[in-house]
Every structure is written in structure tokens, then in C-alpha cells.
Amino acid sequence: MTEQRIQKVLIDAGVLLDHPDIISSIRNKHNVPILLAEAIPILIDYRTQPSAQGRNAERVLSQIQGTHASQAKAFPTKEPIFEGDLLAEFIFDGDPAYILKRHTFAAQSAAGRLLEVANQYGMTLVTCDDHLLAQAKANGVPCHKWPSTTPARQTTMKPVAASPSVELTPFTLHRTPKSVAMQRLPCKALPGVGEVVTTPAGKALKLTKQISQGGEGVIYATSNPGLVCKIYHAEELTVFRRQKIELMVTRRIERPGICWPTDAVFNQHSEFVGYLMPMAQGKTLFSGVFVKPEFLINFPSWGRIDLLNLCLAFLEHIRYLHSMNILVGDINPHNLLVTQDSKKLWMVDTDSFQIEGFPCPVGTVTFTAPEIQNVDYKTFMRTKEHELFAVATMLFMILFPGKPPYAQQNGGTLAENIKAKNFPYRDFDDKEKFSGENAPEGIWQSIWNHLKRDVRVAFQHTFRERKHVSLEEWIKLLSRYRYNVASKYFGNEVFPTSFYFIRDPIQVACGRCNKTITASKNLVDKKALKGHKVWCQDCHKKHRLTRMARESYEKGQQAERNNQGRPTPPPPITRPVVSPRPVPAQPQPRPQPTAQAQAAQSRPVQAQPPRHQLQQTSPTQNNRPHSPAQPQRLAPQSVRSQSQTGRRKSKVAVFLGKLWRALFSN
């Protein structure tokens, strides 16, 4: 007969409030009852209430305070305490029990902290909360449900059945949007901090504090530590929203990490105002990972393997949702939350998911497939193939922290590049056609070079060839990639310092700037044999830019030398239309001058220039354009004709001068 193994049993605060005798029941079965110190403030809040829970809280607290809990160095099972944790022993109804206190948790919600401690110490969790129960099952934590309706004398720990609820039925697929009225719902008052909301089953929850506020509504913490409440703004309360939330809560989606609506909530006038959902943890993917300075502050120890963990966690969520015929629709980094545990990812704003005839009314250009760019999302039903494009985009932006796949140099807008399939990164099998010249400068080309080849090909199929890669294929590719990184076949750097992955790294000084860099030992040895040294990436870039500038300058100088000694061609001009030269009139006999004319002629006459000189200096003759086609052949003919005409006109002038003097001289 084998000896029964002693179990450490972690008790949820909700069980203590309903059944404080569970501590003694656990001890009677030779197990170790343990409370988390997080439960003490909850008991203090209830101790003053005039109810059964208030009396139970007072009972537990009085015994903890009355026995003056003492510090313990190990569990009764001889298992040590983790560094940073504290364990205290107190006496309850004559039996010892323990309180565990942890100063720093990785999880942020109360439910997450219970699961974190139970998982690390190998404890069995006891709870009344169905949501916490589902989370424990999903995380592999042993868990039992303590039925709240069972009398204390009959309390026994019974394992929860593997499928306590009816199997979930997937939603039906619709090709066209459902015709739902967008009319406003009546709302006399929106609840705020300190007020109470109720569920359709009559459960009341108090809104304890405001967590955040957005364009659709306000998120509040509630008196249930594991749940938050979204209260819509008055203008967002429509028949459409209420019917969609009522449809969503018909499926109890209890997958950890998906903040699915659990119940609709109503104000004091029984008017629909919002819904309840699990509390998410962490920072948005945009602010935590996609902004490099924030990423280095928030996750300084992360490597590429952590980015791959995020990708796989995201893919698992999408695969589960698609199995239920649910489309996310608005995939974007603001709706994904990350924590220090890179294997966990939270999805929020689930009320915008596309379900049955309710489309996802919002979207962003970066994650929209090319065939549905510029489409009104409110009147259009996405398909799973459309979502595969958004999934691939998100995977790319996680591996290239924050960089969209179609961002590039000298390119158009993101929408234009998406439609044109203008994916800028290099195709190593077709370097001539896809050389990567337009890829963004900086670290992004190095990240592309460091990716596993089949992952690069999958991205090229999606963004350049429009071949959809299935979720199963992505999971297979990235799982192998993660294994290769863990095995050190590929680099684990998020932002690589070398252009290609180095399998034999050594630390050397750059041969140009003397900066310490990581280089391949094989490459260093080869260059040493030739009397050369390796350079860092910055020096290579400066050298390339300097060479390009020098080559451009030399080409300009050569072009200038080639043009020296050649006449500058005249600018193209339009030859003016020249009117035909009039035929000279026959000379008429001059009339006899009058007495006044004779007196005038008796005055000394100034020498007049010859007529041929007047004709040569006329503006019409000077400005007459010459044909640029044959300037050298036409120029001598023009000069010769002018000389002959000048001699002919000179004889006529002499003859007229003699005639003038003969007629009018004294």
C-alpha cells in the first residue's frame, strides 16, 4: 500500500467567504491549507458587512490576528520557499494553516496571481469561480470547484469534470451583413465609480475605479477582481451593439488571453449600458514593443525567441477564434497586450469582432488586404482569407518590431504599395528583379537577412505573389524557426549588429574606426591573409556613399570635358515669315523745284552715305535669322551677294550725283 502524497492546497478568497471551514477540512485530509496574502484585504473589506460573508470574514481574520502568525522557513512537506517569498503559519480552529506573501508578481490580475503561485509551487487550487476554473484548466493547474450550495457538513473536494458545460457550437458564417437598426437606445443615467451594475441573472457588481477611456466607452474595475466592465458612451448605445453583445454571451469563450464578453450589464433603470469581460494584463503591443526605446526599457532581456513566442501565441488565438467562425477583423497592435511572459498575449476590444451577420466596423490600411482597400467596413463581411493577410502583416511587424511590410524608400503610400504588391525586400533567388534597393535603410535589411529562409519565402508569397499562407503552415514555420534559434542555428538578437548571421563570432576592432564589433572568425582570417581588416556596418555604409558620390562627380567632370571646344548650339527659334521683296519702281522725272527749294539747295549739302550702306545697316537686314542647318555654306554666299549689290548701287549713286550738280549748280 503506497503512502498518500501530501498536497498543498491554495484556497481562493471567495471560498473562504462562503466556507471558512474548508481550512479544517483540508487539514483533516492530511493536506496543507494555504492562503495567499492577497486574500487578506478582501476579507477586511467584507468583515464589517451584516451578512454571512461578513461574519465568515471576521471569523478568519480574528483567528489570524489572535494567533500572531509566525514566519516559517519551509512548507510542512519540506519544500523550500522561493527567494523573495514569505511564508507565515497561523492556527485556525486548532489546526495550523499558512499564508504565502509575494512582493513581486509577473501577473497583474488577482486570478493570474493565484495561478502563478499555484503553478510554481505545484499547488492544487480550490475556487468557486467558474472563470478562474477555466483559466486553471487551460494553464495545466490542478483545480477543484467548491460548490457554494453544498452544506458545510457535506463539503468534499471533488475534481471538476473535464467538460462541465455543453460543448460550444461555432457561430454561423454570413456573407452579407445583418440588417440591424442603428437607432439609439434610451439611457437615463450612465453608471460611474461607486455605482452598481447588474447582470441579467441579477448579480450586482460595484464599479470601483476607472481604468481607461476610449472613443466607445469607459473601462472600470469591479468588485470582482477578475472582471472589468465596459460602459458605452450614451451616443454609442444602439440596438446594433445590444444585439451583438447578447449574441456573443451565448458562447462562453473562456480561453485565457481573450477578453470575451461574459455578461451584459444594466443600470439602475434596467437599461443596457455595457458588458463584463476578464481583466487583461500588460502593455499594448504598439507602446511596449513597436517603439524601440520603450521596447528596450520594458523588455531589456528579450531576444528573437521571445518575439517568436509572441507570434505563436497570437496564431493560437486566431486559430481558436477561426474554429468558432469568429474573425478579429480589426487586427492592430493597440488591441494586443503583452507581459514579461512572452508566451502570453491578451486580445481586447473583442466586441468589434466579426460574428455571424455583425461585421467588424473598423480597420486600418496597414492590415487590410489589397482587394478590400477603401471598402466601407460597416457594410462588408470579411473572409478568413482576408484575415490571413492581416495575420501575416502582424507577424512581420512583430519580427520587425513595428515596421510595416510595405514601408520603403522612394515608394508610394502604404495603400498604393499594397495594391501594387510592391514588397521591397530582397529575393535571394531573383536578385535582378527584386534587389531590395527600396528596402528601408538601417537595421531592417539586416533583420531580413537573419530570418530563416522558409520564413522569408512565406512573406514573399503573401506580400508579393498574393498566395495565402495558412495558419497551420505559419505555426509550423515559426515553431521550427524558434527551435533553430534555441539551438543557436540562427541568431537571437532582436536588432542584429551584423548584416548576416555569424556562426563563428569573435570580437575584433573595426579596421577603419577602431570600434569593437562582432565578426566572423573565418572572414577575419581570410582578410588577414590579404593584409586587410574587417569593417563595421557604419564604415561600410560611409564608404559606399563616398564611392557613389565620387563616381557621380567623375561622370559630371567627364561630361564637361567632352563638351569643351564645341560651339553651343543656338536655341531653337521659329523662323519669321518674310514678306516678298517689293519690285523697285521705275524712276520718275523729278519735278522742278520751287524758289524755296532752290534757296534750300543753295545751302551746303552734307555728304550722304551710299545707299548700299544704308541698306546694310537696316534693322530688317541685320536681324534676319539664318537657317541653322548649313551656317558655313550659306554665310559666304550672303557676303558675296551683298558686295556685288554694293558696287552696283555705288555707280548709280555717282551718276545721280553728277546729274544733280549739272542741273542745279550755278
DSSP class per residue in 215-248? SSEEEEEESSTTEEEEEE-GGG-BHHHHHHHHHH
Between the CA of residue 622 and those of 255, 563, 610, what are the distances in Å? 96, 30, 17
pLDDT for position 435: 64
How far apart are the C-alpha atoms of 454 and 445, rounded to whole Å?
17
Sort strands 227-232 and 263-266 into parallel, antiparallel or unpaired.
unpaired
Q: What is the pLDDT of residues 251-269, one digit of tens each?
A: 888 888 999 999 999 999 8
Q: What distance, in Å, lies between the first and last C-alpha atoms of the chain?
A: 171
Run of H or E residues at 517: strand 516-520
DSSP class per residue in 358-425? B------GGGS-GGGTT--GGG----HHHHHHHHHHHHHHHHTTT--TT--TT---HHHHHHTT---S
Per mean pLDDT, which range of 203-207, 571-575, 633-637 is the poorest? 633-637
More confident residue, 312 or 13: 312
User: Residue 344 contacts by C-beta under 8 Å, 6 or more apart in sequence?
Assistant: 256, 257, 281, 313, 338
Strand partners, 277: 228
Which whole number is the average pLDDT over 161-169? 49
Cell numbers of 186, please?
434610451
Per mean pLDDT, which range of 6-10, 81-85, 615-619 is the poorest? 615-619
| Res 113 pLDDT > 60 | yes
pLDDT for position 582: 58
| Res 587 pLDDT > 70 | no
Is this model's pTM higher than 0.85 or not? no
Instruction: Give the angle 381-384-385 at the CA atoms, nearest 5°.
Output: 105
pLDDT class of 602 with cuts at 50, 70, 90: very low
How far apart are the C-alpha atoms of 178 and 460, rounded to whole Å?
36
| Res 4 pLDDT > 70 | no
Backbone angles phi, psi at 463, to 5 degrees: -95, -15
Q: Which residue reads 556685288 in cell numbers?
A: 644
pLDDT for position 286: 94
| Res 639 pLDDT > 80 | no
Burial 508-522 (b: 16+ CB within 10 A, else e): bebeeeeeebebbee
pLDDT for position 665: 61
| Res 624 pLDDT > 70 | no
pLDDT class of 488 with cuts at 50, 70, 90: confident
pLDDT class of 221 with cuts at 50, 70, 90: very high
Between the CA of residue 62 and those of 20, 87, 93, what are the distances in Å? 12, 19, 11
Strand partners, 232: 217
Contact between 256 and 139 (Cβ < 8 Å): yes
| Res 438 pLDDT > 60 | yes
pLDDT for position 50: 72
Task: Tally the C-alpha atoms within 13 A of residue 403's C-alpha that lie toward its C-beta.
Answer: 23
How far apart are the C-alpha atoms of 288 and 282, rounded to whole Å?
9
Which whole number is the average pLDDT over 557-567? 76
Between the CA of residue 98 and those of 68, 69, 113, 139, 142, what are the distances in Å? 12, 9, 17, 24, 19
pLDDT for position 411: 72
More confident residue, 649 or 430: 430
pLDDT for position 320: 94
More confident residue, 146 or 154: 146
Measured over the CA atoms of residue 13, residue 15, residue 18 and residue 22, the dihedral's sign is negative
pLDDT for position 629: 43
More confident residue, 604 or 523: 523
Q: Give the mean pLDDT of the chain.
A: 80
| Res 191 pLDDT > 80 | yes
Q: What is the pLDDT of residues 626-635, one digit of tens each?
A: 444 444 444 4
Run of H or E residues at 315: helix 304-323
Q: Which residue reads 519669321 in cell numbers?
A: 576
pLDDT class of 569 with cuts at 50, 70, 90: low
Task: Tell which residue, 355, 363, 366, has the closest CA to residue 392.
Answer: 366
Contact between 10 and 123 (Cβ < 8 Å): yes
pLDDT for position 289: 94
pLDDT class of 588 with cuts at 50, 70, 90: low
Strands, sheet with 143-145, edge to edge from the N-terminal-most edge strand: 70-72, 85-92, 95-102, 32-36, 8-11, 124-127, 143-145, 158-159
pLDDT for position 87: 87
Cell numbers of 367, please?
492590415
Q: Which residue reads 528579450 in cell numbers?
A: 302
pLDDT class of 400 with cuts at 50, 70, 90: very high
Q: What is the pLDDT of residues 11-51, one digit of tens each?
A: 988 888 888 888 888 888 888 899 888 888 888 877 767 77
Residue 482, judged by CB atoms within 10 A of its CB (0-12, 13-18, 19+), counts as buried
Residue 41, judged by CB atoms within 10 A of its CB (0-12, 13-18, 19+), counts as exposed
| Res 402 pLDDT > 90 | yes
Share of the chain above pLDDT 90, in %: 31
How far apart are the C-alpha atoms of 13 and 99, rounded to whole Å?
12
Q: What is the pLDDT of residues 42-60, one digit of tens each?
A: 888 777 677 788 888 888 8
How far apart are the C-alpha atoms of 228 and 277, rounded to whole Å?
6
| Res 67 pLDDT > 70 | no
| Res 374 pLDDT > 60 | yes
More confident residue, 391 or 488: 391
pLDDT for position 151: 35
pLDDT for position 230: 95
- What 3-state DSSP class applies to 207? strand
Run of H or E residues at 91: strand 85-92
**Amino acid code (one letter) for 149:** T
Which whole number is the average pLDDT over 126-132? 82
pLDDT class of 167 with cuts at 50, 70, 90: low
Which whole number is the average pLDDT over 400-426? 87
More confident residue, 615 or 403: 403
How far apart are the C-alpha atoms of 83 and 36, rounded to whole Å?
16
Per mean pLDDT, which range of 169-173, 199-203, 601-605 is the poorest? 601-605
User: Residue 477 contacts by C-beta under 8 Å, 6 or more apart in sequence?
Assistant: 452, 454, 455, 458, 469
Q: How far is CA 490 from the centre of its chain?
A: 25
| Res 521 pLDDT > 50 | yes
pLDDT class of 327 with cuts at 50, 70, 90: very high
